[in-house]
Structure 1
Amino acid sequence: MTHPASGRPSSVLFVTNDFPPRPGGIQSFVHGLALRTPDAVVYAPAWPGCAEFDRRQPYRVVRHPTRLMLPTPAVARTAARLVAEHGARTVVFGAAAPLGLLAPRLRGAGARRTVMLTHGHEASWASAPGFRSVLRRIGAHADVVTYLGDYTRERLTAAIPEAKLVRLAPGVDVEQFHPGAAPPGFRAALGLAGRPVVVCVSRLVPRKGQDQLIRAWPQVLRAVPDAVLLLVGGGPYRRTLERLAAGRESIRFTGTVPAASLPGYYAVADVFAMPCRTRLKGVDVEGLGIVFLEASATGLPVVAGASGGAPDAVRPGDTGLVVDGEDPGVVAQAVVELLSDPDKARKLGRGGRDWIVREWAWDQVAARFHALL
């Protein structure tokens, strides 16, 4: 496709609130798509460290001056200018809600196709009458609305015509996330040498279930006395979690770590656990959980909470276990089962690695995405 005025290839414009260097699964998903899209242009909020991040990208990134973009006239003007300036015939909204409300304005500027990604929060919107009507307005101006898995698709059909819904889940870089990804001596440097390790990699917020892991931990230690719980990530719930874990040497907090270091933190562990749970009467729900996929790619058995679409990221009995994240006793039992049976843990880890390489590798996801464009 070419720019009608210049004859050069037209661009694909990504309009998204979720983008690095802000950490998170949606952010890495959208970045991965942009990275694999020729002539991509990204319009995203400013975030600490964004100038350095943007310089390393092979595509143009235009930053909104604040950390949040809403469908305001100012944001609409900038996005419309980028459509016209780059001849963008396709616009991809990194999350349909709320920025998908800009679609009519961008069509007026020259866009011919709109692809809207959805995640857990759109599934929540579809369940609430007031938000559902807004989501209907957004979907009315989309050519394609993607969904992560069966859970999100089922809920989105309350607001989005089924004919527009197409599955598109995140990809995993299987060259980056793989067994043995930890640098030599990394486990010893973290003080974990010779100890069974359970890792949870995620933002520290109540939905993710780190508090339930901490509550489950005394029961785990009774069965596996030298085990260590490694909580990787930062977030607003950290102080609460630290108070809950006070005085326990076997629970470690790393804080936020660089994205490039994440594979090593997975690879030092024996089990991955994130017992996520649905909160606020279904408003706060897990859309999928890319961390389960990354853990599986690294060869770890996973313990996942049965929140929203999280079970779509696990094959129970083949790659891990799905548990009730509301019950610390059940969480503890699953973790103990995997720590106490290394053969089973290794079998699930191998099954997870094979599954990710076969169905979740980025080249396959990119091919599906380009077909939507």
Structure 2
Amino acid sequence: MAQRTMLITNDFPPRTGGIETFGYELARRIPGAGNGSVLVYTSSSVGQREFDRAQPFAVVRDPASTLLPTPRIARKAADLVREHGCDRVVFGAAAPLGLLARGLRAAGAGEIVALTHGHEAWWSRLPGVRLTLRRIGRDVDVLTYLGDYTRDVLYGALGDTARHRLVRLAPGVDTGLFHPERDGLPVRERYGLGSGPVILTACRLVARKGVDTLIRAMSWVRVRHPRARLLVVGEGPDGRRLRELARWMGVDGEVVFVGAHPHEDMPGFFAAADLFAMPCRSRRAGLEAEGLGIAFLEAAASGVPVLAGNSGGAPEAVRHGETGYVVDGRDPGEVARRVSRVLDSPEHARAMGLSGREWMTQEWTWERTARRLEFPHG
């Protein structure tokens, strides 16, 4: 009998974000996903009905907007494991839902995998949550990490009984959806970007992503490239401040805010860009850092050079000097110099884009990640 997997997560489309993409891309690539071998248990979200109907696997939506390890959620999850005969459970994010692991094992789950992202790495530095992660690590069979940065942080948080359960499971990219042959003209025309250079950033608008550094850098970039535009895709609590900063810096004509867009729209934005930049920076004494950054991978797969901040695991998504650059996300001058370096030489930018595309197709596909999930100890 084929293995049946239940993915339990708060981070699932139609919500947008890197963790949402991670869970969805894995779920649809698990062998037999369209034949009843995958069940997703997740929270409610706007637009869920249309999205869920289009999926090849079953999606069970809890009425709550956030799943927490409460007695009610624990009972519901255990009932689903028994009802659907799920012999494997995957937690889309280890904390806090990984606290349900013991009950789900008692309900019949033979293998339990907990995925970690950036926030577990941050939390592992806090004494109280550190103990929670240690418990989760003891209760699951596999605790994944994104790369060297998250591995090192988690290793320090886990006790001797759980460290051997750490397995690398990095995100991937759909190289068929994100590729260099897409046409960026429709996006350029829709937002009046013209034919000049376009620097794209796409993220949740929070301070850690470094969009304010990009806006400050534009005052230098436009001296060398007066037709350059910064295209900002995303929304978030920092949005108002960033718009005011662009006006204050006198670059509001060069910075174009277009709001949040669904993931399926993003290939067109990358196609319109000459450079993707997200100069993220660590905050709160290192407690808040970038885990990795799927957007960096999608840009590279699209043949676009990448500029990443030196926060957390973000540098692991860039080959410095080959597929893009790693910069200090707090230094607008350095960001401006690197942006201008790419825009100064289209040939250099094209070579970086080709190198990034080749790297993605060789080492960063979702198929590779899904195989790793199937055989985590292989």
* Among 89, 104, 107, the residue aligned to 1:109: 107
Q: Which residue of structure 2 lines up, in the alignment, with residue 20 of structure 1?
A: 13
Amino acid at match of 1:204: L
Residue of 306, 313, 317 corresponding to 1:313: 317
Answering whether residue 49 of structure 2 is matched by residue 56 of structure 1, we say no
| Separation (CA, whole Å) in 1 of partners of 2:307 and 2:220 | 16
Q: CA deviation at 1:180?
A: 2.7
2: distance between equivalents of 1:224 and 1:183? 20
Residue 288 of structure 1 is matched in structure 2 by 292
Further displaced range: 179-188 or 241-250? 179-188
Deviation at 1:10, TM superposition (A): 4.7
2:16 alignment partner, SS class: coil
SS in 2 for 1:242: helix
Is the contact made by 1:182 and 1:265 (CA closer than 8 Å) also made in structure 2?
no
The 1-side partners of 2:317 and 2:185 are apart by 29
Superposition map of 1:1-373 within 5 A? 2=1, 9-37=2-30, 38=32, 39-160=37-158, 161-182=162-183, 185-246=186-247, 248-372=252-376
Distance 1:312 1:219 in 2: 28
Give the letter aligned to residue 55 of structure 1: R
Amino acid at match of 1:300: V
| Residues 10, 86 of structure 1: 8 Å contact kept | no
For 2:115 and 2:136, the matched residues in 1 are separated by: 11
How does the TM-score come out when normalised to structure 1? Answer: 0.95
Q: Determine the C-alpha separation between the residues in 1 that align with 2:184 and 2:327.
A: 32
- Does the CA contact (< 8 Å) of 1:147 and 1:153 recur in 2? yes
Which residue identity lines up with residue 104 of structure 2 in the other structure?
L
Q: Distance in 2 between matches of 1:345 and 1:10?
A: 45
Partners of 2:184 and 2:273 within 8 A in 1: no
Aligned AA (2:280)? C
Cα distance in structure 1, aligned partners of 2:143 and 2:220: 44
Q: Give me the TM-score of the superposition, normalised by structure 2.
A: 0.94
State the 1:183 CA deviation.
5.8
Where structure 1 has 5 or more consecutive residues not aligned to the other structure, the ranges are: 3-8
How many Å separate the matches in 2 of 1:215 and 1:185?
27
For the residues of structure 1 that align with 2:333 and 2:225, how far apart are their CA atoms? 15
Q: Closer, same or farther in 2 for the Cα pair 1:26/1:269, shift >3 Å?
A: same
Q: Is the 8 A contact 2:233 2:257 kept in 1?
A: yes
CA positional deviation for 1:186: 3.5
Q: What fraction of aligned residue pairs are identical, expressed as a percent? A: 53
Deviations 1:54-75 (A, max 9, x none): 1111011111212211100111
**Which whole-Å CA distance do the structure 2 matches of 1:154 and 1:372 have between them?**
19
DSSP 3-state at the match of 2:334? helix
Does the Cα contact within 8 Å between 2:185 and 2:272 map onto a contact in 1? Answer: no
Matched-pair contact (CA < 8 Å) for 1:234–1:256:
yes
Deviation at 1:188, TM superposition (A): 2.4
RMSD of aligned residue pairs (Cα, Å)? 1.3
Deviates more, 1:252-261 or 1:294-303: 252-261
For 1:15 and 1:31, the matched residues in 2 are separated by 11
For 1:118 and 1:28, the matched residues in 2 are separated by 14
Conserved? CA contact 1:203–1:234, under 8 Å: yes
Q: What is the letter of the counterpart of residue 274 of structure 1?
A: M
Deviation sequence 1:74-94 (CA, Å, 0-9, x none): 110110011001111100000
Q: 1:175 offset after TM fit, Å?
A: 0.5
State the one-letter code of the partner of 1:12. T
Runs in 1 of length 4+ with deviation above 6 angstroms? Answer: none
- Structure 2: 5+ residue stretches without partners: none
| Residues 324-350 of structure 1: CA deviation (Å, up to 9, x unaligned) | 101111111111111112111111111
Residues paired across the two proteins, number: 366
Match of 1:6 in 2: none
Partners in 1 of 2:318 and 2:371 — Cα distance?
23
